[in-house]
Amino acid sequence: MHNILVPVKVVITGAAGQIAYSLLFHVCSGQIFGNDQVRFMQIPSMISQLEGVRMELEDCAFPLLNQLSITDNLEEAFKDADYAFLIGALPRKQFLRGMERKDLLKSNASIFRNQGLVIDNVAKKSIKILVVGNPANTNAYILNKSTPSIPSKNISALTRLDQNRATFQISKTLGVPNVVVWGNHSNTQFPDPKHALFDDGRQVWPILKAKFDEPNFIETVQNRGTDVIKARKLSSAMSAAKACADHMRDWCLGTKQGEIVSMAVVSNGNMYGIPKDIVFSVPVTCNNGEWKLVEGIELDFSSKKYFESTLNELKQEALDAEFVFQE
Ligand code: NAD
Ligand code: LMR
């Protein structure tokens, strides 16, 4: 018996860039949106290079790739889109020493403002959006402000890379846990080992704490992006693409029993004291295409300090972002 395949339309911006080059494989192989679905893709920018990527995708002969479109026209790209990975933006550069992700706001903010205005007009209202371009949380904040007709729950930013980094650091000591990352995708983020869980729901901290250097762990995860840039002379791409795939797959297909994941989402004003509209990484579970906040996690004194620091940074970035709306 044949399935009736429902095509979904996925937009990837910055598709000629390095993250997208790795992400395309995850998307087109069918591991994110379910094996019974077919996808259309539209890709703005860098048209001639993308023609080469198109040839490669064709040559992969992915059975689920229904149609591939390349465009630099935003209306055409986002028309009736079901899913969007917003990657297209400038990355930090290795030669700009001391540059932080928030320093990209000036160059990247207007990209998300302009895309938001178009998405609001032409995309499906059910579109699920993952903002990847940095500073990811605040670009998602701008996008949310620019898309009044899209539910804020459908807009998210990528902190799964930070979760995966934290998971690896702990896995070196113990098995693979689920680690909560709170706050900003920046060097103030708070990867929280005290609330990490094993897949079977057991707490990691009672076993971990005796032999664990918590400040060193937090700093390692906070600075991992910078360390990758120093070593690679380019920002992370393969791991970022894997994290994009993890984030969207869990959101669409659901998290496993007992699993919690970190997603930066738009606060409704009723989440761990995070002001409304701030895009903050929190622990969630996902089911039926919806994320749900994991509530009731108690932070101790030192954890609260980390939490406040990353929240203060995001509040400041939100103020800084207002310049986009004044233009
Ligand atoms: P890249 O320079 O390799 O690719 C970016 C692509 O975006 C380029 O092809 C460029 O032409 C395109 N682009 C620029 N402006 C655009 C626009 N307005 N519309 C469409 N495309 C546009 O960069 P990359 O390594 O792929 O990184 C992309 C972004 O993702 C950067 O901002 C980077 O800092 C960020 N990033 C975020 C995370 C995260 O965890 N949130 C992780 C890694 C990288
Ligand atoms: C990362 O965390 O690797 C990315 O956000 C790129 C960067 O600028 O660090």
- 65 within a domain of the structure (yes/no): yes
265 Rama sector, left if φ>0, alpha if ψ -120 to 50, beta otherwise? beta
Q: Please tell me the distance from the alpha carbon of residue 220 to that of residue 170, in angstroms, as a whole number.
A: 11
- 325 within a domain of the structure (yes/no): no
Q: Are residues 230 and 120 in the same domain?
A: no
- Verify whether ligand 2 is closer than 6 Å to residue 42 (CB atom): no
Domain region containing 21 = 6-157
- Write down the residue that tokens 């020493």 correspond to: 97
* CATH at 224: 3.90.110.10
Q: Are residues 147 and 167 in the same domain?
A: no
Q: Are residues 28 and 111 in the same domain?
A: yes
- Closest residue by Cα to atom 1, ligand 2, is 225
Residue 35: count other Cβ atoms within 10 Å of its Cβ: 11
Q: Which residues pair with 13 in a beta bridge?
A: 86
Q: Which of 157, 180, 201 is the last residue of a domain?
A: 157
The reply to whether 113 sits in an annotated binding site is no
pLDDT digits (tens, 9 = 90+) for 203-222: 889 988 888 899 999 999 99
Whole-number Å distance, alpha carbon 19 to ligand 2 midpoint, is 11
Q: Where are the beta strands (DSSP E) in the chain?
A: 6-13, 37-43, 65-70, 83-86, 128-131, 155-157, 177-182, 190-198, 261-266, 279-287, 290-293
Q: Which residues line ligand 1 (CB under 6 A)?
A: 13-14, 16-19, 44-46, 87-92, 111, 132-134, 136, 158, 161, 185, 235-237, 240
Q: What is the separation, in whole angstroms, between the first and last Cα of the chain?
A: 56
| Residue-level pLDDT at 5 | 64
- Closest residue by Cα to atom 13, ligand 1, is 88
Q: Which of 133, 157, 181 is the last residue of a domain?
A: 157
| Residue-level pLDDT at 150 | 98
Q: Please tell me the distance from the alpha carbon of residue 19 to that of residue 51, in angstroms, as a whole number.
A: 17
Token code pair at residue 27: 């998307």
Burial class from Cβ neighbours inside 10 Å (0-12, 13-18, 19+) for residue 165 reads buried
Q: Are residues 197 and 265 in the same domain?
A: yes
| Residue-level pLDDT at 44 | 60
Whole-number Å distance, alpha carbon 324 to ligand 2 midpoint, is 23
* CATH at 150: 3.40.50.720
Judged by average pLDDT, the poorest of 7-21, 41-55, 207-221 is: 41-55
Q: Are residues 140 and 180 in the same domain?
A: no
pLDDT digits (tens, 9 = 90+) for 279-307: 999 999 999 999 999 999 999 999 999 99
- 62 within a domain of the structure (yes/no): yes
Q: Are residues 167 and 273 in the same domain?
A: yes
The reply to whether 134 sits in an annotated binding site is yes
Is pLDDT above 90 for 31? no
The reply to whether 133 sits in an annotated binding site is yes
- Write down the residue that tokens 């918590």 correspond to: 214
- Closest residue by Cα to atom 3, ligand 2, is 225
Catalytic residues: 185
| Residue-level pLDDT at 296 | 96
Q: Which of 157, 185, 208 is the last residue of a domain?
A: 157
- 287 within a domain of the structure (yes/no): yes
Can you tell me which atom of ligand 2 is nearest the CA of 239? 3
| Residue-level pLDDT at 68 | 87
Pocket of ligand 2, candidates 23, 107, 236, 239: which has the most ligand atoms within 8 Å of its Cβ, to mutate? 236
Whole-number Å distance, alpha carbon 161 to ligand 1 midpoint, is 15
- 321 within a domain of the structure (yes/no): no
Structural domain count of the chain: 2
Q: Are residues 21 and 167 in the same domain?
A: no
Q: Are residues 167 and 147 in the same domain?
A: no
**Smallest-distance ligand from the CA of 85:** 1
Q: Are residues 142 and 179 in the same domain?
A: no
**Smallest-distance ligand from the CA of 72:** 1
Label residues 109-148 b or e (16+ Cβ within 10 Å = b): bebbbebbebbbebbbeebbbbbbbbbbbbbbbbbbbbbe
pLDDT digits (tens, 9 = 90+) for 157-206: 999 999 999 999 988 666 667 899 999 999 999 999 999 988 777 888 99
Residue 30: count other Cβ atoms within 10 Å of its Cβ: 17
- Write down the residue that tokens 């994290």 correspond to: 243
